[in-house]
Amino acid sequence: MSIRARIIGIDPGLRFTGFGIIEAEGNRLRHVVDGVIGTDGAAPVAERLRALDAALTRLLESYAPEFAAVEETYVNRNATATLKLGYARGVALLAPARAGIAVAEYGAKTVKRAVVGTGAAEKTQVGLMVRRLLPGATITRADAADALAVAICHAHHLATARRVPAA
Amino acid sequence: MSIRARIIGIDPGLRFTGFGIIEAEGNRLRHVVDGVIGTDGAAPVAERLRALDAALTRLLESYAPEFAAVEETYVNRNATATLKLGYARGVALLAPARAGIAVAEYGAKTVKRAVVGTGAAEKTQVGLMVRRLLPGATITRADAADALAVAICHAHHLATARRVPAA
């Protein structure tokens, strides 16, 4: 017996936040929707975060995923950029939590390993594998591919967790 | 003529977020409430952000401030600490914006100048002046004093803005 799980993956950023929703049933994956939420770079930060939160909340209401997965962010940038990334990532973690959805976090290497088979994969390889695994994906920007990749990673994690026999 | 404004100041942090609500009427200030929102360090980050957001949202509903002010954060820490600060600060900016409240941001020096008279003031001086300006304040932690300080700063800013004649 396998259970169908609907998963949203989020790749957060203040300027562009990628999202991707998939359905996983055992090892089978199905693409539901993907895209990018952009916020107005000229608007105050609080307003940009409000717009991002509103867009994510609408997605969660419309597609009702049971699981959310967010990519752990690179922090090897300058402090101001890291802080801005923190704002967007905070909203990306908060929006599903507020909707009562469990939120998982995965490091970039874990995502690459799940999608390509090696944690050292190039970004382009990840995008190619995501398109192969999810033929219906639109992926207008790399952020959407990254979001779908973290959703796929969580699907693998759920499938593996279910294969472990109960104690 | 002077208008009474109710202002919430927020000093965000993932472990402790200080808040302080004051009323300003011209140059007169009145303390309404202050305190600290703590989140469980052992809980997942998404759950901590949800708890912080829920507490801030309850405060905004209960006290209905018309203005919010958030202190701009020091970023001279390591990347992981900066990212965590970003999460909390993102939620502190988002919660009032979602409630339709205008959110202002002030740098630490601007806050010190407004409260003590010099941007180079010590943290203890800020606390002393906040207690002097707002006799009713409880201030169980420094975070609450910092939150009241940023609210006072915004009150000064509003009073000054009103003094400028309309074009």
Which residues in chain B land under pLDDT 70?
1-2, 74-76, 162-167
Measured between beta carbons, the chain B residues lying within 8 angstroms of A76 are: 79
Taking the CB of residue B79, how many other CB atoms lie within 10 A of it?
A: 20
DSSP codes of every residue in B41-101: TTS-HHHHHHHHHHHHHHHHHHH--SEEEEEPPP--S-HHHHHHHHHHHHHHHHHHHHTT-
Contacts (Cβ under 8 Å, ≥6 apart) of A132:
none
What pLDDT, on a 0 to 100 scale, did the predictor assign at position A164?
Answer: 54
What pLDDT, on a 0 to 100 scale, did the predictor assign at position A80?
Answer: 86
What pLDDT, on a 0 to 100 scale, did the predictor assign at position B55?
Answer: 98
What pLDDT, on a 0 to 100 scale, did the predictor assign at position A79?
Answer: 85
Selecting from A82, A94, A96 the residue whose C-beta is nearest the C-beta of B82 gives A82
Selecting from B46, B88, B97 the residue whose C-beta is nearest the C-beta of A46 gives B97
Q: Kindly tell me the burial class for residue B99, based on how many C-beta atoms sit within 10 Å of its own C-beta (0-12, 13-18, 19 or more).
A: middle
Here the ipTM equals 0.86
Contact B76 A79 (CB under 8 A): yes
What pLDDT, on a 0 to 100 scale, did the predictor assign at position B44?
Answer: 95
> Per-residue pLDDT for chain A (167 aa), expressed as one digit of tens each?
567 899 999 999 999 999 999 999 988 999 999 999 999 999 999 999 999 999 999 999 999 999 999 998 766 678 888 999 999 999 999 999 999 999 999 999 999 999 999 988 888 899 999 999 999 898 888 899 999 999 999 999 998 876 655 44
| pTM, rounded to two decimals | 0.90
Tokens standing for residue B136? 């009713």
Q: Are B33 and B10 in contact (CB under 8 A)?
A: no
Rg (CA), chain B: 15
Core vs surface per residue A59-70: b (16+ CB within 10 A) or e: bbeeeebebbbb
Measured between beta carbons, the chain A residues lying within 8 angstroms of B98 are: 50, 53-54
Coil vs helix vs strand at B153: helix
Long-range contacts of A33-39 (CB under 8 A, 24+ apart): A33/A63, A34/A137, A34/A138, A34/A139, A34/A144, A34/A145, A34/A147, A34/A148, A35/A138, A35/A140, A35/A144, A36/A140, A36/A141, A36/A143, A36/A144, A39/A14, A39/A15
Chain A touched by B84 (CB under 8 Å): yes
What pLDDT, on a 0 to 100 scale, did the predictor assign at position A167?
Answer: 45
Chain A touched by B86 (CB under 8 Å): yes
Residue A33: strand pairing partners? A21
What pLDDT, on a 0 to 100 scale, did the predictor assign at position A73?
Answer: 73
